[in-house]
């Protein structure tokens, strides 16, 4: 052992001999002789190993107890938040239905007033505001229902037919406003989705495109499939000259509007795109916003289905 330690040319180290662990220290004396001291570490190592085992066992038990306590107290802490959110959704739904009745009465009274006295700017304004509040209430109720994970019938649907139907319903309105409208819809494209909600998704994107399209601008609809990546792409775009410096990642936030002044010329409440994102996620897809060549594009990608 001494010869082995001397050949290592180290001042100190460790070795094993006969199943026993030793530490050694090599010291050179002034007369040229070398002194090597060996220390039996078996007792120390046994104590250290035993201590490590005890520490590991205590750590595991402590972690388990901490996890159980955390679960127990977290449920109690989060429960009021869950209850508050549930009451908030119920309030939105109930209040929405309660508000529809007086709005219907106001609209009926306004129409009756027009029959008796004729249409005026005041009756026209009343009807516009009633329609505006009705859209807001319907959007809030729809958003609350989406959060409650509505029942969907996910099946293979004809995406081409749904997109074409939505495009046909918006074409007359968009062209009547003096805007261009173009479609490039590949036939026979199939996806896995709920047919009614997918049609609603197309309507949301087209309504948003019409809403934010520049005067005299253009709205475009593209539906295609990539057989290599087995992906279906739905892209709806509209010209938007002032959109270069906008953070499009915020467009899917609830109640977000880029127009911080809430200019009434831009109809909407920052709800529809949040609803669109919820629907796309329910269909196991992805949605994104992109700005290129003074045009704002919303792109949805879904898996292609036979």
Q: pLDDT tens digits for 211-270?
A: 889 889 999 999 999 888 889 999 999 998 877 777 776 777 765 555 543 444 454 445
**pLDDT at res. 264:** 43
Q: Tell me which of 146 and 192 has the higher pLDDT.
A: 192
The size of the chain, in residues, is 306
Cβ atoms of 305 and 156 within 8 Å: the answer is: yes
pLDDT value at 22 more than 70: yes
Q: How far apart are CA 220 and CA 297, in angstroms?
A: 9
Cβ atoms of 170 and 210 within 8 Å: the answer is: yes
What is the average pLDDT across 65-75?
81
**pLDDT at res. 139:** 67
Write out pLDDT tens, residues 136-166. Answer: 777 677 666 666 555 678 899 999 999 999 9
pLDDT value at 135 more than 50: yes
**pLDDT at res. 269:** 43
Burial degree of 202 (CB within 10 A; 0-12, 13-18, 19+): buried
Share of the chain above pLDDT 70, in %: 86
Q: How far apart are CA 239 and CA 218, in angstroms?
A: 6
**pLDDT at res. 105:** 86
**pLDDT at res. 208:** 86
Q: Tell me which of 270 and 12 has the higher pLDDT.
A: 12
Q: Kindly list the domain boundaries of the chain, sorted by start residue.
A: 2-40, 41-150, 155-303
**pLDDT at res. 261:** 39
Q: How far apart are CA 99 and CA 108, in angstroms?
A: 14
51: left (phi over 0), alpha (psi -120 to 50) or beta: alpha
Cβ atoms of 232 and 302 within 8 Å: the answer is: yes
Q: What is the mean pLDDT of the chain?
A: 82
What is the average pLDDT across 158-183?
91
**pLDDT at res. 268:** 46
**pLDDT at res. 263:** 45
Q: Tell me which of 108 and 83 has the higher pLDDT.
A: 108
**pLDDT at res. 260:** 45
What is the average pLDDT across 166-190?
90
As a CATH number, domain 41-150 is 1.10.287.130
CATH fold for the domain made of 155-303: Heat Shock Protein 90 (3.30.565)
Q: Tell me which of 43 and 90 has the higher pLDDT.
A: 43
What is the average pLDDT across 17-24?
84
**pLDDT at res. 70:** 81
Q: How far apart are CA 24 and CA 38, in angstroms?
A: 4
């Amino acid at each position: 052992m001494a010869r082995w330690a001397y050949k290592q040319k180290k001042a100190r180290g460790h070795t094993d001999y006969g199943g026993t662990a030793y530490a050694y220290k090599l010291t050179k004396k002034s007369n040229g002789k070398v002194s090597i001291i060996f220390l039996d570490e078996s007792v120390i190592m046994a104590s250290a190993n035993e201590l490590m085992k005890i520490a590991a066992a205590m750590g595991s038990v402590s972690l388990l107890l901490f996890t159980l306590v955390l679960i127990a107290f977290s449920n109690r802490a989060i429960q009021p938040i869950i209850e508050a959110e549930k009451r908030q959704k119920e309030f939105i739904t109930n209040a929405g239905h309660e508000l529809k009745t007086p709005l219907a009465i106001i609209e009926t009274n306004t129409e009756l007033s027009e029959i008796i006295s004729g249409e005026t700017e005041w009756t026209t304004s009343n009807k516009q505001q009633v329609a505006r509040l009705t859209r807001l209430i319907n959007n809030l109720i729809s958003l609350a229902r989406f959060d409650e994970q509505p029942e969907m019938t996910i099946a293979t649907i004809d995406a081409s037919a749904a997109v074409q139907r939505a495009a046909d319903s918006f074409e007359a309105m968009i062209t009547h406003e003096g805007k261009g409208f173009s479609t490039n819809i590949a036939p026979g494209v199939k996806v896995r989705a709920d047919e009614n909600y997918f049609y609603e998704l197309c309507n949301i994107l087209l309504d948003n495109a019409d809403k934010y399209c520049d005067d005299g601008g253009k709205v475009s609809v593209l539906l295609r499939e990539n057989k290599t990546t087995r992906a279906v792409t739905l892209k709806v775009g509209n010209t938007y000259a002032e959109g270069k410096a906008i953070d499009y990642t915020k467009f899917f936030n609830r109640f977000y509007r880029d127009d911080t002044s809430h200019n009434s010329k831009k109809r909407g409440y920052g709800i529809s795109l949040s609803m669109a994102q919820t629907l796309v996620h329910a269909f196991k897809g992805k949605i994104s916003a992109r700005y290129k060549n003074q045009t704002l594009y919303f792109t949805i990608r879904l898996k292609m289905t036979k």
